[in-house]
Structure 1
Amino acid sequence: MEKIKNPGVYIVEENAFPSSVVEVATAIPAFIGYTEKIPAAGADGLLRISSLREFERWFGGPADYRFRIRKATGEGDKSRSEADKKEERGEKLAKFDMHLNLIGDKEAYYVSRVGTVFRLYEAMRFFFQNGGGACYIISVGDYKDQIRDERLADGLRRLENEPEPTLVLLPDAVSLDTAEAFYSLCRKEIAHCGQMGNRMAILDVYQGYKAFQNPAGEKSVVDRFREGVGTESLSYAAAYYPWLETTIVQESELSFQNLTDDSLALLVEMISGELALTDHPENELESEAVRKERVLSMVKQLPDYTSAVVNSWDDDQDTFGKLSPANLHRTLLAMSQSYKALMGLLQKYLNQLPPAAAMAGLYTLVDSTSGVWKAPANLSLNSVMAPSVPISTEEQEYLNTPLDGKAVNAIRSFIGEGVLVWGARTLDGNSNEWRYIHVRRTVMVLEQSMLAAVKAYTFEPNQAATWITVKSMLENYLTQQWKMGALVGASPLEAFSVRVGLGETMTDEDIQSGIMRVSASVAVNRPAEFIEISFAQPMQKT
């Protein structure tokens, strides 16, 4: 108050309440990967969006889905050249060399995807399907590039200057050429989260579509994952297995245009064999035979539908005496079971997705409906039909409680309940403090919220009045958290404690050095992960 010089009555307003703590955001994922286009807007290539439409506006759509059909020449598919193998290196296709034999026992065909498999766009669709909201996108390249771990690691560096993201995901990492490159990137991602202290990594298992137990006696994909992720900052990461069979990519998004030009001739052979007009019953309607002949003639023109020509045609209008691509596609679906099965095979492949993006959406959903202190488990996933690998109870035990503590959360299918997330552990499963995902995330939110609030008292007098104000402010915030259910205890005294003051958290030397130390202890709730019900039959009393 300024010095009073004139007699009279003066009103002085004083703050009756301490400053309040504003809680930081709890589930803001950051996705790092490759996109169709790279927007010029955004600091350091980073942009905040809140919907799939907004993502498409700034970053474009999916990469080109391109598949090749090859005729089998014997055991294994020896027809594939070294050039083909090199072209397909973006995806290990052992499981995606899909056998298609729908024309009797005469011929067999294999279908595989060619080109680099970019996954960020499908991950965004999966994220928003499962409750996702605001998130950050860092584009490290476009679809003309090859997926490189150095580029994705650079995206982590660019994320260091943004304090809001609380989750980090690298959807394109599982498409790296080697498992070693993937695990190296995982270690960098976990180290980034541990260094920042305000975010967690959600990890996929490399080749997580493979069976849990390897019949050849080799290490399983889960064992290799545990060995590869290292030992540092494991409480800042959670992993999920297996991959999921989804419905993200719709049937309407695929046609013969997704086949390579050299595959169209084989497609003609496949469908022609099915529609060959021989040995028709005498009572077969002539109109049906004529219809098949007409379709067959159209099929023989498929090699003319190269991508360069198709893209110049109207999708709905027939041109130059030929059916438009859309009309021909619909006709083939109606007339050819082989073609319909082929399209279903392509759709099934594209819909086998890693689960991390869906889990980021579930984290967001749980935080908005229950709170960050609720374990993100025993929840169903949207747009999911089944896990790619069924998990038994015995296998779940090994995933959940391994000797090294690196728990991998299982996604399982239960009769009458659907597909559920059946695990809530970090990779630091042997730690009594940081075993559970929601405990780590709750503490991060409390830490960052209190840190931001106390920062306002930097350069304030390091004296009792300041200490009391800070203590009151933090106690009010933690009391609110206790009332909402984030902290356990019959009373606030049992749920938390805040200490600050000379002789309590500070010494005379601390005060002389300009250091104010605040100590807070909280009791975060733990989940009822194992529920035991005991039954007893007492003896009859007469």
Structure 2
Amino acid sequence: MNLSTIQTPGVYIQELNAFPNSVVAVPTAVPAFIGYTPQAAYEGKSYTNVPVKITSFADFQAFFCLPDPPALVNPSKQYNPQYYLVAEKSQPLKGDYIIIAGTYYSIVQDPNTVYYLYNSVKFFYENGGGDAYIVSVGSYGPPLKKPAALGVPVVNLNVQLDDLIKGLSLFTNEQEPTMYICPEATLLNIEDNGTLMQSMLLQAAKMQTAMCLFDIIGGNAPDPVLYTQDITNFRMNTGSVGLSYGMAYYPFIGTTIMQDSDFDYTNLFGGDLKQLEAILNPPSAPNSAVAAIIANIQNPASTLTVAQNHNALLIASQTYSLIIKHIIADANILPPSGGIAGVITTVDNAAGPWQAPANTSIVGAASLPISLSDSHQANLNLDPVSGKSINAIRTFNGLGILIWGARTLDGNSPDWRYIPVRRTMIFLEQSCKLAAQAYAFQPNDKNTWEAVISMISNFLTSIWKQGGLQGASSSDAFSVACGLGSTMTADDLLNGYMNVTIKIAVVHPAEFIVLTFQQQMATSS
């Protein structure tokens, strides 16, 4: 109340704020998924290239999944990869295969039907995910109608670099996302994948609000010996800008996301039943039951659904059951980024961003395409040439599959080598930044300086009490300074600058634990 404006005699009430402004902690685990979806429409409006915030997988289904038809009709398939069985003269050296009547068959995908976003969002929510943003850059493209080349990384020609970069750029106007994820980036060729990763790191470094989760091309089917070339290609193509804002995980994960009900004979040979019948009902070993079922599918005499015909084939042919089992296992090998984002969300909810998302299991992880040892991980964790660290996902006897690494791509930096350090700094910086906006255009004097110091100190004290900062006392954990002669000069005041200096002791993870044992002589009591 300005007392100089009071001109009428009487009693006036003046209320004073007893408590200073406070810092509200920003969310720390909000991934932004960018990729291709079954569709992108809701209530008659297109949501292609529109960031949509969701809070559950049901929200994702409402915006980005095909609606189910009426009952007793074949349900919509949200993800419909195609597989081919390619006869081989001898046992294939790479990829999955199956032996049928003494002949080796490689199980090969149609590369243009492989997509990862749908299952990655499922993987995210299966691991405790919460709020997320989705940008659909388009729907699925046409199939190639032939199997991919054997022994080379899958490249989906429908996945375009320009589409993904356009989707990424939409988040320059969104401050809330804290992770950028492009599950289908590994379906680009190596050069385009490198361009996309560098664009993601550059945007993250400029925004200073998010980290990038990277998957590695070749991680779905690594060669036991030559897998190091995939690692080298990744390191050579990530550039040198914004490395502390990136984290990579290797290899892919064999999951349980897709179930038996997600596959049937329409996923084989592009739906060509003649090619399927040649394998299930060969002249050398005829199967009359299979022949009758396929004849009914081609010329239906009844209104059986695809699921009913599929179940009939499972009963009639063990070979068909085995084929379906193999393609389910192959389709369930997913890039780890979606599951890792869910793990990060769970860890943040239980502790905070200062807790490393490592030495923890992954829900839905059933197998790994390669078993990494300590010596294998040594080359991933520390690279003297590029300094780019890659976090391993490993299997441990009695423990299962665990995330076994917590390093950023800036692995040789004393300041930024650890993921929880970078994420804690993003959390503190953005929380304090948003709170300080309340003091824009306030008088640049001691009262304002003291209010800002008090506000930030109270916030940092609460973080220290939660274990987010190290130190025996709060004064050991942080310091906040703001004032003329300490953080500002007279010229700063004239130019409208209020400088606040915050020093914090961030908790670093115990990455290497060394136990020292020494024998000693027995002594009398």
TM-score between both structures, scaled by the size of structure 1: 0.86
Alignment correspondent of 1:99: 97
Alignment correspondent of 1:87: none
- 1:42/1:23 Cα in 2 relative to 1: closer, same or farther (>3 Å)? farther
Alignment correspondent of 1:89: none
Aligned mate of 1:33, from 35, 47, 68:
35
Query: Per-residue deviation at 1:485?
Result: 0.8
Q: Distance in 1 between matches of 2:502 and 2:302?
A: 78
Q: Does 1:54 align with 2:84?
A: no
Query: Per-residue deviation at 1:68?
Result: 2.5
Query: Per-residue deviation at 1:10?
Result: 4.5
Q: Distance in 2 between matches of 1:134 and 1:366?
A: 14
Partner of 1:531, secondary structure, is coil
Alignment correspondent of 1:357: 338
1:72-221 matched pairs, under 5 angstroms: 72=88, 74=89, 95-96=94-95, 98-103=96-101, 105=102, 107-114=103-110, 115-144=112-141, 146-176=158-188, 178-211=189-222, 214-215=225-226, 220-221=229-230
Q: Which moved more, 1:396-405 or 1:385-394?
A: 396-405
After superposition, the C-alpha distances for 1:426-473 in whole angstroms (9 at most, x for unaligned) are 001111111111110111010001001111111111111110111111
Q: Does 1:235 align with 2:244?
A: yes
Q: Is the 8 A contact 2:84 2:108 kept in 1?
A: yes
Q: Which amino acid aligns with 2:291?
A: S
Partner of 2:3, secondary structure, is coil
Aligned residues: 491
Q: Is the 8 A contact 2:81 2:113 kept in 1?
A: no
After superposition, the C-alpha distances for 1:105-138 in whole angstroms (9 at most, x for unaligned) are 2x44333222342211011111111111110011
Percent pairwise identity: 38
- 1:262/1:531 Cα in 2 relative to 1: closer, same or farther (>3 Å)? closer
Query: Per-residue deviation at 1:41?
Result: 6.0
Partner of 2:366, secondary structure, is strand
- 1:57/1:381 Cα in 2 relative to 1: closer, same or farther (>3 Å)? same
Query: Per-residue deviation at 1:9?
Result: 5.5
Kindly name which structure, 1 or 2, has the bigger radius of gyration based on alpha carbons.
Answer: 1
Q: Distance in 1 between matches of 2:259 and 2:9?
A: 82
Q: Is the 8 A contact 2:269 2:275 kept in 1?
A: no
Q: Does 1:343 align with 2:324?
A: yes
After superposition, the C-alpha distances for 1:282-329 in whole angstroms (9 at most, x for unaligned) are xxxxxxxxxx64x14314527727xxxxxxxxxxxxx51585432221
Q: Which amino acid aligns with 2:298?
A: D
After superposition, the C-alpha distances for 1:139-163 in whole angstroms (9 at most, x for unaligned) are 1111137210111011111110011
Q: Distance in 1 between matches of 2:521 and 2:379?
A: 39
Q: Is the 8 A contact 1:124 1:357 kept in 2?
A: yes
Query: Per-residue deviation at 1:18?
Result: 1.2
- 1:276/1:59 Cα in 2 relative to 1: closer, same or farther (>3 Å)? same
Q: Is the 8 A contact 2:49 2:167 kept in 1?
A: no
Aligned mate of 2:253, from 241, 244, 265:
244
Q: Which amino acid aligns with 1:384?
A: A
After superposition, the C-alpha distances for 1:240-276 in whole angstroms (9 at most, x for unaligned) are 0000111111011111121235742232122224994
Q: Distance in 2 between matches of 1:266 and 1:43?
A: 37
Query: Per-residue deviation at 1:219?
Result: 5.1
Q: Is the 8 A contact 2:80 2:113 kept in 1?
A: no
Alignment correspondent of 1:64: 80
Alignment correspondent of 2:378: 397
Q: Is the 8 A contact 1:214 1:220 kept in 2?
A: no
Q: Is the 8 A contact 1:265 1:303 kept in 2?
A: no
After superposition, the C-alpha distances for 1:316-369 in whole angstroms (9 at most, x for unaligned) are xxx515854322211221231111110011101100111011001111111111
Q: Which amino acid aligns with 1:340?
A: S
Q: Distance in 1 between matches of 2:214 and 2:9?
A: 71
Alignment correspondent of 2:431: 449
- 1:505/1:274 Cα in 2 relative to 1: closer, same or farther (>3 Å)? farther
Aligned mate of 1:505, from 468, 474, 487:
487
Q: Distance in 2 between matches of 1:377 and 1:76?
A: 38
1:346-385 matched pairs, under 5 angstroms: 346-385=327-366
Q: Which moved more, 1:394-403 or 1:446-455?
A: 394-403
Q: Distance in 1 between matches of 2:262 and 2:448?
A: 63
Q: Distance in 1 between matches of 2:22 and 2:412?
A: 36
Q: Is the 8 A contact 1:20 1:473 kept in 2?
A: yes
Structure 2: state its 5+ residue gaps: 67-77, 143-157
Query: Per-residue deviation at 1:535?
Result: 1.0
- 1:219/1:528 Cα in 2 relative to 1: closer, same or farther (>3 Å)? closer
Q: Distance in 1 between matches of 2:239 and 2:426?
A: 22
TM-score between both structures, scaled by the size of structure 2: 0.88
Q: Distance in 1 between matches of 2:50 and 2:427?
A: 26
Q: Distance in 2 between matches of 1:302 and 1:275?
A: 22
Q: Is the 8 A contact 1:116 1:147 kept in 2?
A: no
Alignment correspondent of 1:418: 400
